[in-house]
Amino acid sequence: MTERVVLAYSGGLDTSVAIGWIAEETGAEVIAVAVDVGQGGEDLDVIRKRALACGAVEAEVADARDEFADEYCLPAIRANALYMDRYPLVSALSRPAIVKHLVAAARKHGATTVAHGCTGKGNDQVRFEAGITALGPDLTCIAPVRDYAMTRDKAIAFCEAKNLPIATSRKSPYSIDQNVFGRAVETGFLEDIWNAPIEDVYEYTANPAEPREADEAVISFKEGVPVAVDGRPVTVLQAIQQLNERAGAQGIGRIDMVEDRLVGIKSREIYEAPGAIALITAHQELENVTVERELARYKRQVEQRWGEMVYDGLWFSPLKRALDGFINEGNQHVTGDIRMTLHGGRATVTGRRSSESLYDFNLATYDSGDTFDQSKAQGFIEIFGLSAKIAAKRDLA
């Protein structure tokens, strides 16, 4: 029986060439799998037909936009996940979503190998392969660009020699990855970290410096899940899409950073994530109102570790699953509304209300009606600082 390889297929030059390249290098039949996580671009059926025209024996396409929003973006929102305190894990979240479909296709078609189009320098090779082997420990992974030295020049030559139905002339100066949660741009002149990004780098966001009227939005959550925008019910996907449009129009969610890649190098990345930043900002503020102090403090530690694990490609790991349980528990009371002003590149919280609020006006106020018994503060401070006081007496003796 002929071996079969499942290929993560985008419809672009590299993965289209990889179909025939893998067949020649391994003698295997190739099944192409394309997954829509809200990246836009060509129709899925056009991509499926191209894969078949390039030599795939089977081609599957999946509209996974709601799945991606519900099962991957939502946990990141509830975790307030920002790698290095800034990056909302745009690409890192999409990889396990794609991996799940690749492994399912491998089982369906009896494939023993899964292939992807990553290089040997980036994080995505780890995310794909760690995820694939977690869900299918018996599967083998290959990466034609990395393993068979499939350079772009070689890909173009192969494409032209085989007369494959794909354009080879246009080459963007940037490497771009995008989905509904955001957009990542790297390479080209951006590799010089002194160079400022220019406006043509951006697609999801307008220039925040341009004058425009502010936009006010009210985002409603139930147990940490966005359920309405301005009082109108939304799915998680719709919440992201609507805030991508509205926050993006105000230039919100632009990130220019030098980040620590898993493979040990530092890389300059430009991100756009207007909906993600608006939703995480709103969710964080609602937690400030509804989550008890000690739980909130510890959750911030969990959030950092959760983000690092997802960035590193460990979505399907035991620790990540255990942390999910903690984050779910921590969101049980995160219900209410956050009002935000979207303007000038910033999402600014201006109002909060919640039936689960721990904010007590009568305890917080300094006016009449104050129910906080200030007479108890002196004794509390004495006991709270006692151990430091005893140590200080010793050290000063």
Instruction: Cite the active site residues.
Output: 14, 95, 124, 175
- What are the start-end ranges of the E strands in 11-159? 29-36, 58-63, 113-115, 140-142
DSSP 162-198: HT-SS--S---SSEEEEETTEEEEESGGGGSTTSPPP
Tokens coding 91: 């690409």
**d(Cα 309, Cα 85) in Å, to the nearest integer?**
14
Strand duo 29-36 + 58-63: pairing: parallel
Report the interhelical angle of 13-26 vs 152-162 (nearest 10°): 80
Beta strands across the sheet bearing 232-233: 232-233, 225-229, 215-222, 336-343, 346-353
Q: From CA 397, how far away is CA 383, in angstroms rounded?
A: 22
DSSP 8-state class, residue 87: B
The answer to whether 6 touches 100, Cβ cutoff 8 Å, is: no
- Pairing mode, strands 113-115 and 4-8: parallel
Q: Count of alpha carbons within 13 Å of 173, Cβ hemisphere only?
A: 8
Contacts of 376 (CB under 8 A, 6+ apart): none
Tokens representing 131? Answer: 């995820």
Q: Which of 309, 268, 374, 345 is nearest to 130 (CA)?
A: 309
User: How many angstroms separate the CA atoms of 336 and 56, rounded?
Assistant: 50
Angle between helices 236-248 and 274-290 (to 10 degrees): 110
Question: Is 40 within 8 Å of 63 (Cβ atoms)?
Answer: no
Strand order in the sheet with 182-186: 175-179, 182-186, 266-272, 254-260
User: Do residues 257 and 269 touch, judged by C-beta distance below 8 A?
Assistant: yes
